[in-house]
A and B are shown apart, each in its own frame.
Chain A
Amino acid sequence: MQEVLNAATLGSIYLLFALGMALAWGTIGILNFAHGATFVFSVLVAYWITQSSPLPLVVILLVVMAVGAALSLATQLLVFQQIVNRSRSHRSTELRIIIAGIGVSAIPVAVAQRATGSSPFGFDTTYRSREFNIGGVHLSTTVVLILLAAIGIGVGLTLWLKRSRQGLALRAIGVDSEVSGGMGVNRSALALGTMAVSGALAGLAGALLTLYLGAIAPESGDPLLIKAFAIIVLGGLGSMGGAVLGAYILAGAETVLIQLHFGTWVDAVSFGLIFLVLLFRPQGLFGRKEVRRT
């Protein structure tokens, strides 16, 4: 039972991080490789503002979400939107966005490295995690918070995309950007809104992960970025439900391997599993069978 809880917690962390990426990639087609840097920089701001005195967790969460949203918006406005405006083909746009994302990510990471001397850093909060032992299962309030946040946001985003008009418009952009524009969808405004939500989720994931782990490093976003990428591909591009399932499958596989003392095989086996799934189901678990954007 403890292992199930461990897997659920790890999966929730992956999910919180992956949701923002999945939202932007699966709808407006932005594969944002600066998502990890947004995550790190949000926590860095929390680290700065709590250096003199601790702050309540709710304040920290609001700050990191605001910072994440602002950084993501700035990236969209100053970088990605400029690339979209200047590119001729969809393929070259995607490639340039990936490269630009990698380039942009270097800046916040460099700032974090300079500010912390590349040492682990966290934030000081008045919140104190309480530990419980229920039927031999060790649980903490932080774990409950992470589980609730991940599942709540995951389910909420899935439903919102499926049932709301804005969600429908976003999905329409994901299927065919030009046709959706012709149908009256304001692509630029929706892209900005999506990136803001995506950045806020990166900030939230950063704060909750730091709360759970104790500290992160300036480079902590990189391994999560790769895992989020794998989760989205596994779940199926464009499917938030797929991302939810993908995150828990990856975390479940990792937890089993750790339990069996195969700690060094975690990445190899987890990504091997994803590779196998994609061999037999290239569109991922819940992906659209054919997505063509021109």
Chain B
Amino acid sequence: MSPTRTTKALLACLTAVALTAVTACGSGGSGVVSGDGIAENIQIQAVNDQTGAVAYAGLGASRGAQLAIDEINDQGFLGDGVSISMGQSDTAGKIDRAVSDMTKAMSDPQIAAILGPTMGQQAAAVAPIVNQRKVPTVFTQSGAEGVVTGDYTFRATAPMESYYRIATQWLADNDLKKLSLIYNATFPTFAILGQDVVPEQAKELGLDIGQSLQTQSTTQDFTGQAQQIASANPQAVVMLLTAPQSVTFLKQLRQAGYTGQVVATSVQSAGNVAAAGAAADGLVYPVDFSSAMDTEEARDFVEAYQSKYGETPDPYAAEGYDALWWMAHGIKASGSSSREGIQQGMTQVARDGFTGAMGEISFDGNDMRVPGVMVRWENGEESLIS
């Protein structure tokens, strides 16, 4: 990614301010510090799922991160001769393995920072250790509570609820006001959305949720729920289900005779809804990133990713990519590749925001926020609708 001129100028100013602050205050202050400077080889470690049930998220994040590293090194973004290298550990969907691999990485003084686990339970388990050992760690995905808990924990995936407003707003704008809601109440992200976020936003926007159906993660057959919704015949259905559940629900909803609009979540991105075939046509959902986005940064990222990997990037790759650029901006801002320097630099970047593949990125503390876009799934492809 090539930072915009504004960002470059901003970063230059930040660096200058940082150096001045260091000169004036030494390294003990709370401002940005240069510490021991930027090392020629900065080692980071990716600790995420490369195999297992959510391997797609870890694989995507690591691929995106590696692409960012290639660009950072090629551009000499951190200075001549300075390069980042990334090792890879596979947590294989297991919490104990995540703790073990993270502990091992943190014990290695050569590891300056970590690209952390993508699974919420793994991230929540390692977050206290991260803060205790003071190793800057950027998580992607990991939507659970208790992940961004201290100065050294960062998250490069905006929680779904932080940008779901664009979906409810889209419903209101299209005059789709009579809704049915179905959500997986045992999946934390969907439980928050289904119980709190969507009902609150619906109330604000004058949408009427006439029917709210809860399911479990173990639910595989949705015949009953699909028929109940088809009988109520709402103007739109808000579907907050996991990827395999969504495929089944969509097929059974159409079989039950419902022909109206269905609004879903970013879980349906990355082609996860393709198996539903024609039943998924017309589905709309908000995403933090889509390869259909038309900003310069997004287009550059998609082009570079396709060139390197021969496929279109998914949101997980965009999150890994922006996570690494966040880290690089942080190193540059603090002028230090020490663990403390990276932490303080990333905190500084989080205060100011930056432009990434996912758009104009802002932060709530160390937690990323993105504007998000609405996309429509039609004939096996996503297209922008906002």
Q: Which residue of A lies closest to B251 (CB)?
A: A214
Q: Mark A185-219, 1 if CB is under 8 A from B, else 0.
A: 00000000000000000000000010011111111
In the complex the two chains form, is B225's CB within 8 Å of A219's CB? no
Bound-state CA distance A131–B230 (Å) is: 15
Residue B82 lies at the interface, judged by CB distance under 8 Å to chain A:
no
A13 CB–B CB distance under 8 Å:
yes
Q: Please, how many residues of chain B have a CB less than 8 angstroms from a CB on the other chain?
A: 40
Which residues of the partner chain B approach A214 to less than 8 Å between Cβ atoms?
A: 247-248, 250-252, 275-277, 279
Is B224 touching A259 in the complex (CB atoms < 8 A)? yes
- Whether B255 contacts A131 by the Cβ 8 Å rule is yes
Which of B53, B219, B275 interacts with A121 by CB under 8 Å?
B275
> A223 interface residue, CB < 8 Å from B?
yes
CB-CB nearest in chain B for A262:
B214
Task: Find the residue from B247, B271, B274, B277 having the highest chain A CB count within 10 A.
Answer: B247
Q: Is the CB of A122 within 8 A of B221?
A: no
- Out of A6, A119, A264, which one reaches B224, CB within 8 Å? A6
The complex places the Cα of A209 from the Cα of B52 at a distance, in Å, of 23
CB distance B224 to A122 under 8 Å? Answer: no
**Nearest-CB residue, chain B, relative to A121:** B275
Contact of B243 among A13, A213, A217, A258 (CB under 8 A): A217
Assembled-state Cα–Cα distance A258/B216 (Å): 11
Contacts A13-B221, A117-B55, A119-B275: A216 and B244 contacting too (C-beta < 8 A)?
yes
On whether the beta carbons of B216 and A10 are closer than 8 Å, the reply is no
- Whether A215 contacts B51 in the complex (CB less than 8 A), given A140-B255, A220-B220, A263-B213, comes out as no
Q: Check A117–B56 contact: CB distance below 8 A.
A: yes
Complex Cα spacing A129 to B277, Å: 14
Would you give the 0/1 interface string for B204-235, flagging 1 where the beta carbon is closer than 8 Å to chain A?
00000000011110111101110110000000
Give the complex CA separation of A263 and B244 in angstroms: 17
List residues of chain A with CB within 8 A of the CB of B52: 110, 113, 118
Contact between chains at A6 and B247 (CB < 8 Å): no
Which residues on the A side are within 8 Å of B225 (C-beta)? 258, 263
Q: Check A51 for interface membership: any CB of B closer than 8 A.
A: no
Contact partner, B272, options A6, A119, A261, Cβ 8 Å = A119
**B221 to A120, Cβ gap below 8 A?**
no
Contacts of A119 in B (CB 8 A): 56, 243, 270-272, 274-275
Assess whether B255 is in contact with A215, with CB atoms less than 8 Å apart.
no
Closest to B230 in A: A138
**Given A120-B272, A264-B185, A264-B186, A213 contacting B220 (CB threshold 8 A):** yes
A32 within 8 A of B: no
Is B256 an interface position by the 8 A CB rule?
Answer: yes
Q: How far is the CA of A118 from the CA of B277 in the complex (A)?
A: 18
Given A3-B224, A213-B247, A215-B275, A113 and B186 contact (CB-CB distance below 8 Å): no
Separation of A110 and B90 alpha carbons in the complex (Å):
14
Whether B248 lies near A6 (C-beta < 8 A) is: no
Contact, CB under 8 Å: B227 / A120: no
Asked if A266 CB lies within 8 Å of chain B CBs, one says yes
Interface centre among A117, A129, A140 (most CB of B within 10 A): A117
Q: Which of B227-270 contact A (CB under 8 A)?
A: 227-228, 243-244, 247-248, 250-252, 255-257, 270
Q: Does B54 contact A (CB under 8 A)?
A: yes
Minimum distance in angstroms from B306 CB to a CB of chain A: 17
Question: Which of A110, A131, A215, A223 contacts B248 (CB under 8 A)?
Answer: A215
Interface assignment of A267: CB less than 8 Å from any CB of chain B: yes
B223 touches A9 (CB 8 A): yes
Establish whether residues B220 and A223, one from each chain, have CB atoms under 8 Å apart when the complex forms: yes
Cβ of B256 and Cβ of A138 under 8 Å apart? Answer: yes
A90: CB under 8 A from chain B? no
Kindly supply a per-residue 1/0 record for chain A positions 29-51, scoring 1 wherever the CB is within 8 Å of any chain B CB and 0 otherwise: 00000000000000000000000
- B55 contacts A264, C-beta separation under 8 Å: no
Residues in B neighbouring A220, C-beta threshold 8 A: 220, 244
* Distance between A63 CB and nearest chain B CB, rounded to angstroms: 19
CB of A289 within 8 Å of the partner chain: no
Residues of A with C-beta under 8 A to B243: 119-120, 217
List CB contacts (< 8 Å) of B277-292 with chain A: 277, 279
A-B contact pairs, 27 of them (CB 8 A): A2-B227, A3-B224, A6-B223, A9-B221, A114-B55, A117-B55, A117-B59, A118-B53, A119-B56, A119-B243, A120-B243, A120-B247, A121-B275, A129-B255, A138-B227, A138-B255, A138-B256, A213-B251, A214-B277, A215-B276, A259-B224, A263-B214, A263-B216, A263-B219, A264-B186, A264-B214, A266-B218
The 7 tightest CB contacts between A and B, nearest first, are A215-B275, A214-B251, A217-B244, A223-B218, A213-B248, A120-B244, A263-B214
